[in-house]
Structure 1
């Protein structure tokens, strides 16, 4: 099932959110508006705004209010990608030139900061300090997750637990609060807010694990970046960690990873990827993603039956089977 099919029922509202997204970054400085627009026009799945709107369906749905959560959450996500591209020295994202490659690192960093500031301006339109605190805490956790990823570049001794904590901070939290805050802004009951948070958290965890698998199996056309980008940058993902647990594979894979880190030609990303692809680590990572999706669906079963719940179920299934 394609994502566009899943979201067809919300097309009118999402078109409005898209227009507000572009409007939010326009006008203060010509260059910053241009670089921000370049980033937003690169596209993306817009999952976070969709989660906000679907969360809002469990309460008093008000698009004019929900825009002040949907837009800033997508802006925060986009800003984090600009900073990621600088750290990873990435030239392309979603098949298009990154801000840092089209302009430079300094412009990219200021663009990310500008977008973060615009996100905070948007959410300030809501007079709910509790929503502000949840969003601020999530941004702090995202920053910690980014620092942990940098610290663990090429760290083959890190634990699976550390990896899971990192992706919780980097990816899952923002998806979790997208679901939660949409419902909260619509005055949904506290129990509903909590269940939607649980759903979003588990979908977010599965989303990142699937992203890690796609980096090993996807094509540049399908994933918008060269396969094996994570390993080239030193990001040791879950399938790699599981592969390193295999006694017969650990030493040869370690040699390749150390050679990639050294950059002296003694390690080949393609050889390392082939080792991981044929290892039990792939199955283990897929199994863990399945478990997170099962937990997400379990949380949904406790919510009232509705079209919004059905859409969230479809998105969970899409996340676990996606090829892009």
Structure 2
């Protein structure tokens, strides 16, 4: 099943959010307008807005209210990608030129800052102080996650726990609060919003681990960028950490990582990828991703039975098994 098949019953509402995203970032400043729209039109799964909408189904569903959560959360995600691309010196994303590649680093940073600002302007229209507190805390955590990733570039001594904390901050929290804030904006009960937070957090962890696995085993056609991009940038992900725990692989893999670092990522990583693919690292990482998936599905049991619950279950399975 494709993701857009799962979205099918929400097609008009997702299209509405897409139009609102464009309307929100339109600017009188010609260059900002061009860069922001370039980022928006490069696509994306729109998982976070969809989680907001589905969570809203467990309360009083009001698209005008929910857009004030769905649009800002997607904008925050988009802004973080622009900044990521500068940090990672990435030239393409989803097969398209990044803002930093098409323009330059300064323009990319200003574009990201502008989109963050637009997100915060829109969400102030919601009067529930809990929503603002949850969002601000999550944004602080996301920044910490970014700093930790930079700190741990090429750090082969980091623990699995460090990796998990980092992806919790960088990825899982924003997905978790997408579910939680959608429920709060719709006036759902505390029990429902907490269950949705647990679901979103565990789906987010599954999402990032799967993303890190795909970077090692996917093709350029699937990924929209060359495989092995993470290791070139010095991002030591879960499958690599597990592979480094295998005595026979540790020294040769360390030698490859050291070589990649010396060349600032400007080198062929085929042999390093072959070592990782031949290890138990991929399988062990996938097993952990599946444990998070099981926790996400368990959290759904606290929710009333309705179509939105089935959609959340289907999305979780899609995320765990996706190939792009």
SS of equivalent residue, structure 2 residue 43: coil
User: Quick check: 1:41 aligned with 2:41?
Assistant: yes
CA drift at 1:264: 8.2
Partner of 2:291: 291
Q: Which moved more, 1:265-274 or 1:49-58?
A: 265-274
Contact 2:233 2:265 in 1 (8 A): no
> What's the counterpart of residue 225 of structure 1?
225
Q: Give 1:216's aligned residue.
A: 216
Q: Contact 1:256/1:266 (CA < 8 Å) preserved in 2?
A: no
Residue number in structure 2 paired with 1:307: 307
State how 1:89-238 maps to structure 2 within 5 Å. 89-238=89-238
Counterpart in 2 of 1:79? 79
Partner Cα distance (2:275, 2:139) in 1: 36
Runs of 4+ in 1 over 6 A off after TM superposition: 264-267
- Aligned CA distance change for structure 1 residues 252 and 267 (closer, same or farther; 3 Å): farther
CA RMSD of aligned residues (A): 1.2
Q: Output one character per residue of 1:102-148: Cα deviation in whole Å (capped at 9) or x when no partner.
A: 00000000000000000001101111111011111111100000000
TM-score normalized by structure 2?
0.98
The equivalences for 1:251-262 within 5 A come to 251-262=251-262
Tell me the distance in 2 between the aligned counterparts of 1:287 and 1:242.
12
Name stretches of at least 5 consecutive residues in structure 2 with no aligned partner.
Answer: none
How many residues were matched structurally? 324
Q: Quick one: distance in 2 between partners of 1:210 and 1:36?
A: 28
Question: 1:256–1:267: 8 Å Cα contact kept in structure 2?
Answer: no
Provide structure 1 residue ranges, at least 5 long, that are not aligned to the other structure. none
Deviations 1:52-81 (A, max 9, x none): 000000000000000000000000000000
Q: For residue 84 of structure 2, give the secondary structure of its aligned residue in structure 1.
A: helix
Structure 1 range deviating more: 27-36 or 61-70: 27-36
Answer yes or no: is 1:22 the counterpart of 2:22.
Answer: yes
Partner Cα distance (1:285, 1:300) in 2: 23
Distance 1:267 1:228 in 2: 11
**Cα shift at 1:28:** 3.7
CA distance, structure 2, for counterparts of residue 152 and residue 28 of structure 1: 40
Which whole-Å CA distance do the structure 2 matches of 1:3 and 1:116 have between them? 27
Once residues 74 and 265 of structure 1 are traced to their aligned partners in structure 2, the CA distance between those partners, rounded to angstroms, is: 30
The offset of 1:279, in angstroms, is: 0.4
1:32: how far off? 0.7
Task: Tell me, yes or no, if the aligned pair for 1:259 and 1:266 is still in contact at 8 Å.
Answer: no
Aligned counterpart, 1:322 = 322
SS at match of 1:7: helix
> What is the CA distance between 1:268 and its match in structure 2?
4.2
- Displacement, 1:269? 1.1
Distance (Å, rounded) in 2 between the aligned partners of 1:304 and 1:36: 39
* 3-state SS in 2 of match to 1:108: helix
Specify the SS of the correspondent of 1:304: coil
